[in-house]
Every structure is written in structure tokens, then in C-alpha cells.
Amino acid sequence: MLVRKLLVAGNWKMNGSIQSASSLASGLLSAIRDGIGYDVVVFPPFVHLPMVAHRLQGSHLQWGGQNVSAHSKGAFTSEISAGMLKELGCQWVLAGHSECRHYGQESNELVAKKFAQALGQGLMPVLCVGETYEQRESAETEAIIWSQIDAVLTEVGVAGLGQGVIAYEPVWAIGTGLTATAEQAQEVHQFIRSHLAVKDDIIARRMRLLYGGSCNGSNAEALFSMPDVDGGLIGGASLTVEDFMAVCQKADKLSKGE
Ligand code: PGA
């Protein structure tokens, strides 16, 4: 049986200052001991990355960028390349977060190009997918999610996709306090995994599928206990050591089989 290590990822979004990000990173470092059975990644704002990288360097905690350019270099004012992230010791990057899809009008095709750029630098992209409330109501959830994944498959193939992680983040659950039930999450995760299995069964079984959307210490255990949920992408509950640790403790418990 293939065992998928749980992954708890903190998406700090556009929050904090150099000082607060520094104490958050240091706090996590002392709260999360070495030798844990799950992975932890944080996604600070770009400008806090050098400081976070400095704090976490050589530790068991990993970090990444919240977005990446679809281009490798050149006249793309305001953009950050995968190579620049790599230089800061990032191992991870988010691709296609719903806020970037929405506010930045990032299309499926653009997100796929970003995913490819990340792979080109050896970064692990977290492909974020998810439906809006209206799309769920009109039974379009699976079609929307598959079109978001399919664009990446077209760009990098199933082997490329398999080098990253997929985060299912229903748009209606992000930052709203409305969480998908563990069963709703499992249903979509199972859909994703079974559709990937048609392309490549081993990759589908190995690939980690995270849940995101108002995930916190109170619902993480139920969500992470689902057979196809391999951790979470945490926004609001990743901004304090206490809240993030409440989620990590559930991952710790489950990773020990308790
Ligand atoms: P949330 O955000 O936990 O605040 O809902 C999750 C995300 O957007 O990654």
C-alpha cells in the first residue's frame, strides 16, 4: 500500500508585517518538533520570504511563494519568477489560488503555464482548484474542477502533474467560515483521484490531495481522516501559532495512527 504523508500548508495571504511574520515563523519552529510524521509548509507574502527563509533554513519546516510568473524572466513588471523563488530556498509554490484566478483573472491555461514554470525550477506546485457556490448549485463542480486539472495535464502531462499537489478549495468555503463537510470534501477528492487513475494509477495513488476552505483545529481531524484527504491548505487559521498548531496537532495524531 502506498502511504501518503499528511501535509499541512499555511497560506498567510496578504497579512502581517516583517515583525509578525518573523515571530510566527520562530513560534512555529519551536512548536513543531523535528522528526514529525507529517509535512509543514508556509506560504508568506513575497516580501517576507527572505526573512522567513532565513528563520526556517536548515529546519524541518518548508516554505514557498503564493504565486509565480508564467514566464522565466524579462519585461514582466511586478512578477516573480520560479528561479527567484528557488533562490530563496522555496520548495513549493501555489498555482491558481482562487483569489488569483478571481482578482488576477488567471485562466486555467495561464495557471498551467505557471505550474510548468515551477516544475522547470524543481519547485513543487500546489494546484488549487474549486467551484463557486453557483457552480455547485448547478451541479457543475466536477466539470469545473476537471477543466482546471485538465489544462495542467495538457501542459505538463500526468507525470508533471504528479510532481505537485492538488488542493481542493471550494470557493464558497474560503474565508467564509463555511467548511465543506468531510463527506463533501471526500466526494470531490475521490472524484479527482479516480479520474487521475484513468491516466496513471500509481501517480493517482501517490498524489497528495489537500482540502482548503475554513479548515481549522475544530474540523481538521474529520477532514484529514477521510481516505482521500491528505492534509490541508489553511488560510485564516494559519496566522497565529496557536491556531496553526491546533491543525498540526490533528495531523500529528493521525500520522501516528492515533
Ligand atoms: P481559509 O483560506 O482557510 O481562510 O478559508 C484557505 C485558502 O484560501 O487557502
Domains of the chain by range and CATH? 7-255 (3.20.20.70)
The grid coordinates listed for 7 are: 501535509
Q: Is 138 left (phi over 0), alpha (psi -120 to 50) or beta?
A: alpha
The grid coordinates listed for 1 are: 500500500
DSSP assignment of 241-256: HHHHHHHHHHHHHHHT
Q: Which atom of ligand 1 is nearest to the CA of 98?
A: 8
> Does the beta carbon of 236 sit less than 6 angstroms from any atom of ligand 1?
yes
- Element housing 155 (H / E): helix 141-161
Query: Which residues does residue 126 pair with via DSSP β-bridges, in sequence order?
Result: 94, 165
> Does the beta carbon of 179 sit less than 6 angstroms from any atom of ligand 1?
no
CA of 199 to the centre of ligand 1 (A): 29
Residues across the chain? 258
> Does the beta carbon of 66 sit less than 6 angstroms from any atom of ligand 1?
no
Q: Which atom of ligand 1 is nearest to the CA of 236?
A: 4
Euclidean distance between CA atoms 161 and 116, whole angstroms: 9
Ligand 1: which of 128, 214, 216, 247 to mutate, judged by most atoms within 8 Å of the beta carbon? 214
Q: Which atom of ligand 1 is nearest to the CA of 238?
A: 3
> Does the beta carbon of 10 sit less than 6 angstroms from any atom of ligand 1?
no
Is 71 part of the annotated catalytic residue set? no
Which segments of 162-240 does DSSP mark as H helices, in order?
A: 182-199, 201-206, 220-224
Distances (CA, A) of 10 to 2, 42, 45, 59, 231: 25, 5, 11, 16, 11
Query: Which residues does residue 42 pair with via DSSP β-bridges, in sequence order?
Result: 10, 63
DSSP 3-state of 92: strand
Euclidean distance between CA atoms 125 and 143, whole angstroms: 22
Asked whether the CA dihedral 226, 231, 233, 236 is positive or negative, the reply is: positive
Q: Grid coordinates 465543506 are at which residue?
A: 180
CA of 166 to the centre of ligand 1 (A): 14
Q: What residues of the chain score a pLDDT lower than 70? A: 1-2
The grid coordinates listed for 61 are: 519546516
**What's the predicted TM-score (pTM) here?**
0.97
Q: What is the pLDDT of residue 2?
A: 53
Q: What is the pLDDT of residue 34?
A: 83
Q: What is the pLDDT of residue 33?
A: 85
Residue 47 DSSP label: G
